[in-house]
Amino acid sequence: MLVTVYGANGYQGKLTLAELSRHDVEVRLVGRDRTRLESAAAEVGIPDADRRVAGLDDRAALVAALAGSDVVINCAGPFTTSGAVMVDAAIAAGAHYVDTAGEQLYVKGVFDSFGGDAERAGVTVVPAVNDGCLPGDLLAHLIAERTGPLAEITVSHFITGAAGLSRGSLRSALATMDTMRSGGLTYDDGAWRSGVPARRDRITLPDGESVAMAPLPTCEVVTIPRHVQVDHVESLLEATLKAGLETPITPELIAGLPAGPTEHDRAEQQFTYLLDAVDHQGQQTRGVIRGRDTYGTTAVAAVEAARRLAAGKAAAGVRTPAQAFDPAGFLQTLSGHDLSWTIEATPTVK
């Protein structure tokens, strides 16, 4: 199995390379700068790994660099400006594709634009394989298996700890700032719509604390309705964190920041993602995801997705995580990496 990582010299890319190395997977590094690729390979402990130089502005070179790959993992954001080029190149090279995007409109664009091409090429494209969308999408499917058709799902993100964002994540946030401020898309009455007011502005945590929330343009809003029969899906973030994400920042300021959080800060970071589902009789069901280290979890998820795609069991086309993989089985694998999940009936939700 050969897995090619694009953006391998970035913060998320190096974590993904390290995870591939732990599984003894043959890897290829592709990017625009040979020196940086060599440095990344050496830093991760795979100095002899294959390295190919190709820029996003040369499709032929990019397709050639991906040729022979079983799976491509794209870690290079902002995906809003560059992701579609990589999806196209991977399909042309006959490789399955995974990315770590968290950019809502980009992910919707992948579903809108590449499904037919991927099916004809016989490859599977799974965007948004990250710490939030992948487990949330998988757990939503398991909830719906228990409840049947749903009136609504509210996805809420809570993150604590000192770990900040990587430079790549900050660049992606800057590229999608207008969407971030508007709240992005909501799935409502059979379609994805912008400008739909959030139905909730507070969420009660499992410990009973009521927290002010604000709309967040997550990818779960794009993926969940593709396999769950549901009328309304919205996503929220703790309001204080949302305000921080909307703070003005410049490319120059980002360039002067560290590449990403330290290993210690990543280990101390904790996240809780809630999925509050309500069926048409008003019965409430809550899914709870808990974990540590968003970037490390993303690397584990992306590599596990690549390994499963290489096994050839997923249907061709653009698929959500729950469409491509066995939800319970994948979550069970993540449970070995400090991620846990539960489904609870009749929670207290405000």
- Give pLDDT tens digits for 248-299: 788 998 999 889 999 999 999 999 999 999 999 999 999 999 999 999 999 9
Average pLDDT of span 73-102 = 97
Q: What is the mean pLDDT of the chain?
A: 95
Rounded to an integer, what distance in angstroms lies between the CA atom of residue 178 and that of residue 80? Answer: 12
Residue 341 confidence (pLDDT) above 70? yes
What is the structure's pLDDT at 173? 85
Shared domain for 174 and 213, answered yes or no, is yes
If asked whether residues 221 and 303 sit together in one domain, one would say: no
Nearest to 78 by CA among 178, 170, 163: 170
95 within domain boundaries = yes
- 31 and 114 both lie in a single domain: yes
Instruction: Classify residue 117: in a domain, yes or no.
Output: yes
| Residue 156: how many other CB atoms lie within 10 Å | 25
Are residue 7 and residue 101 in the same domain, yes or no? Answer: yes
The least confident of 74-78, 147-151, 243-247 is: 243-247
Per the structure, the complete domain to which residue 209 belongs is given by 133-293+328-345
* Residue 246 pLDDT exceeds 90: no
Q: What is the CATH number of the domain that holds 49?
A: 3.40.50.720
**What is the domain-level CATH number for residue 262?**
3.30.360
Overall domain count for the chain: 2
Q: What is the pLDDT of residue 111?
A: 99
pLDDT of residue 20: 98
- 205/332 same-domain check: yes
**pLDDT of 348 above 70:** no
With pLDDT > 90 as the criterion, what percentage of the chain qualifies?
84
Tokens representing residue 73 in the block: 């993992």
Same domain? For 6 and 113 the reply is yes
Spatial distance between the Cα atoms of 7 and 16, rounded to a whole number of angstroms: 10
* pLDDT (0 to 100) of residue 142: 99
For residue 199, name the pLDDT band (cuts at 50, 70, 90). Answer: very high
> Residue 178 falls within a domain, yes or no?
yes
Mind listing the pLDDT tens digit for each residue in 214-241? Answer: 999 999 999 999 999 999 999 999 998 8
3-state secondary structure of 70: coil
Condensed to tens digits (0 to 9), the pLDDT of residues 166-190 reads 998 888 888 888 888 889 999 999 9
State whether 315 and 338 are in the same domain: no
Is the same domain home to 229 and 269?
yes
Q: Output the pLDDT for position 349.
A: 46
Residues 283 and 304 in one domain: no
pLDDT band at 154 (very low <50, low <70, confident <90, very high): very high
**Per-residue pLDDT, 180:** 83
Pick the closest to residue 150 from 158, 142, 161 (CA basis): 142
DSSP letters of 119-157? HHHT-EEE---STTHHHHHHHHHHHHHHH-SEEEEEEEE
Whether residue 260 sits in one domain with residue 305: no
Residue 350 lies in a domain: no
Residue whose structure tokens are 């899906």? 233
Residues 6+ apart with CB under 8 A from 139: 275, 287, 289, 327, 331, 341, 343
Question: 350 falls in which pLDDT band (50, 70, 90)?
Answer: very low
Q: Which of 5-19, 96-110, 162-176, 229-243 has the lowest mean pLDDT?
A: 162-176
pLDDT at 346: 65
Q: What CA–CA distance (Å, rounded) separates 6 from 87?
A: 11
Q: Same structural domain for residues 122 and 138?
A: no
Q: What is the mean pLDDT of residues 111-136?
A: 98
Identify the pLDDT of residue 190: 95
Position 286 scores a pLDDT of 98
User: How many residues make up the chain in this entry?
Assistant: 350
Which residues partner with 286 through β-bridges? Answer: 276, 344
Q: Does residue 306 form part of some domain?
A: yes
The DSSP letter of residue 225 is G
Cα–Cα distance for residue pair 171/174, rounded to 1 Å: 5
Q: Are 96 and 89 in contact (CB under 8 A)?
A: no
How far is CA 180 from each of CA 25, 140, 243, 274, rounded to the nearest angstrom? 36, 23, 10, 20
Structure tokens at 184: 């992005």
Bridge partner residues of 288 (DSSP): 274, 342
Say yes or no: 165 and 52 in one domain. no
